Amino acid sequence: MLQIDNLTHVYGNGTRALDGVTLAIPPGMFGLLGPNGAGKSTLMRTIATLQTPTSGSIRFGDLDVIATPELLRRTLGYLPQDFGVYPRVSAYDMLDHMAVLKGIARRGERKETVEALLHQVNLWAVRKKALAGFSGGMRQRFGIAQALIGNPQLIIVDEPTAGLDPEERNRFLNLLAEIGDTVVVILSTHIVEDVADLCPRMAVLAGGRVLLEGAPLALIDETRGRVWQKTIARDELEAHRERYRVISTRLFAGRTIIHVVADGVPGDGFTPVQGGLEDVYFSTLDASRRAA
């Protein structure tokens, strides 16, 4: 169990990136959703011991993460949002080097580890290829391979599918799903579908604060009967924003489809929507903005 209590981080310029974040994250996939600038990357970097928070505590099992960061690093796998590699080095040689850094000194053990990981992430066929020649999806799969060195018990992946094409995104998500339920895996993203596909528990973070936490299916159930849809002309959007609580809009065939939250039929032309996690997410962000 990863336990985060009242975590706050204020940067030198006065920006409050985290504001009293409290989360209890059990083994399995945990989704952390939030818009760009929500504080997700700051939280991931803090859990990964790359920066020290202004206040608060983090415990992983019996470990005090802030007091003994070196102990967490022994059991941590981390794929940051901006994952850099030596472009001219092959996938095999880079993983072998990272295994040395992770403390796997024996050549035979490293060989076994590296080969198993390359097979696991489906990169064995390109193991001798320079990383500069990898596609975005291949590079992300390599990132997961390096994060899995040493059988970590806590794995953090930060915005892993941003920029991937649909095929590579599906391949990457399937790989994450195979990691298993015995370790804590935190998926930090602004892509709602990634969390919906993978995570039995999740939280929404915005403005450095946790706005919502729970099981996606239970959170979706809470919106049933409260989300309504209507197709309007684009020049009618502002009038509808003034009259209704519009939580999302999208274009279809040149017209605008709006989703509205209301306890009863909002007005003429609205039809009920089978709410999804995207509606939960947008309504949560909307409620936060209105309360600000």
163: enclosing H helix or E strand:
none
Average pLDDT over residues 15-31: 96
How does residue 89 score in pLDDT terms, banded at 50, 70 and 90? very high
Q: Under CATH, what is the fold of the domain 1-75+154-214?
A: Rossmann fold (3.40.50)
CA-CA distances (angstroms) from residue 28 to 25, 47, 181?
Answer: 8, 17, 4
pLDDT, residue 173, reads 86
- Report the C-alpha gap between 147 and 120 in whole angstroms: 12
Residue 81: what pLDDT? 79
Q: What is the pLDDT of residues 104-150, one digit of tens each?
A: 889 999 999 999 999 989 899 999 999 999 988 888 889 999 999 98
Rounded Cα distance, 177 and 183, in Å: 12
38-88 pLDDT, tens digit per residue, is: 999 999 999 999 999 999 999 999 999 999 999 999 999 999 877 777 889
Going by C-alpha positions, the residue among 118, 123, 277 that lies closest to residue 198 is: 277
Give SS3 for 274.
coil
The segment(s) of the chain belonging to CATH 3.40.50.300 are: 1-75+154-214
**DSSP per residue, 184-243:** EEEEEES-HHHHHHH-SEEEEEETTEEEEEE-HHHHHHTTTTTEEEEEE-GGGHHHHHHH
- Which H or E run includes 87? none
Query: Please, is 69 exposed, middle or buried when counting C-beta atoms within 10 Å of its C-beta (0-12, 13-18, 19+)?
Result: middle
pLDDT at 183 over 80: yes
Per-residue pLDDT band for 165 (boundaries 50, 70, 90) equals: confident
Mean pLDDT of the chain: 92
Question: What mean pLDDT comes out for the span 272-285?
Answer: 93
- Position 5 scores a pLDDT of 98
| Region 247-256 average pLDDT | 90
Read off the pLDDT of each residue in 19-40 and give the average, rounded to a whole number: 94
Indicate the pTM of the whole model.
0.89
